[in-house]
Amino acid sequence: MTAITHHTPDALLAAYAAGNLARPYALLVAAHISMCLECRAALDAHHVAGGVVLDATDAAEISTDLKAATLAMLDTPYEAKPVQARSGIYPGAIMAALKGKPPRWKPLGMGVRQCILSDSAEGSARLLYIPAGRAVPDHSHNGLELTLVLQGSFSDSTGRFGVGDLEVADQSLEHTPTADPGVPCICIAATDAPLRFNARIPRILQPFFRI
């Protein structure tokens, strides 16, 4: 794997460490951290900083009922769930979302396919399969879109993104991600709002593809 040059922004790592990141983004960040030593180290630093803050925080009074319920939970035997292992190009976090099964690809046209991993009020996360040389239709964004490359690479107006690279696209970016020559590009994309496609046909089909 080539060196990772596009990393998870520090603000997203801090939110992930605090457990405040929406699930679609948390899934993608978890996958990126498993692939990137630099971001894994940065996440550890956030956990240490969070521990220091907790140690320095004054204790708060809680009700007797809440205290009893919390202690009862601590006494309840914990059954650890097995951690999903990486499979091929898919990190463990993505394999957990796939429930250990291969992706179920749905065609989007021109050889592009998707597999929706989650779709809720928080946003959506999906795998995208883009044949070499093919492009995702030109679009901008109504919110934040994160894209992590798992296989191959793609390029747009901001640069080239290879395996392990994470692109952050917000409302200021309009782009046409295009898979580079070679193997098909497979990536995971997370959004909190529908994309804004510029061409008429993608806009018509957008509700059916839930993208």
Domain count, the chain: 1
Q: By C-alpha distance, which of 96, 173, 165 is closest to 142?
A: 173
154, 134 contact by CB (below 8 A): no
pLDDT digits (tens, 9 = 90+) for 146-198: 999 999 999 999 999 999 999 999 999 999 999 999 999 999 999 999 999 98
99 backbone φψ class: left, alpha, beta (φ>0; ψ -120 to 50)? left
Closest to 83 measured CA to CA, from 95, 70, 98: 95
Task: Place 85 in a pLDDT band, splitting at 50, 70 and 90.
Answer: confident
The pLDDT assigned to 28 comes to 97
* Triad 11, 12, 14: Cα angle to 5°: 65
**What pairing do the DSSP bridges indicate for beta strands 112-120 and 123-130?**
antiparallel
The vertex-135 CA angle with 98 and 13, nearest 5°, equals 50
How large is the average pLDDT for residues 60-82? 72
- Quick one: pLDDT at residue 83? 66
1 has a pLDDT exceeding 60: no
Give the C-alpha distances (Å, rounded to integers) separating 35 from 8, 10, 17, 53: 11, 16, 17, 28
94-104 burial, b if ≥16 CB within 10 A, otherwise e? bbbbbeeeebe
Residues 26-37: pLDDT tens digits? Answer: 999 999 999 999
Contact 117, 98 (CB under 8 A): yes
- Domain of residue 33, residue span: 1-211
Q: What are phi and psi of 184, to 5 degrees?
A: -60, 150
* pLDDT of residue 52 exceeding 80: no
Question: What is the predicted pLDDT for the residue at 119?
Answer: 94
Is pLDDT of 54 > 60? no
pLDDT in tens, 155-164: 999 999 999 9
CA of residue 26 relative to chain centroid, distance: 6
Specify the pLDDT at position 78: 57
The contacts of residue 173 (CB under 8 Å, 6+ apart) are 140, 141, 157, 158
Give the whole-angstrom CA distance, residue 190 versus residue 117. Answer: 10
> CATH number, domain at 150?
2.60.120.10
164 CB contacts (<8 Å, ≥6 apart)? 1, 2, 4, 32, 35, 36, 148, 149
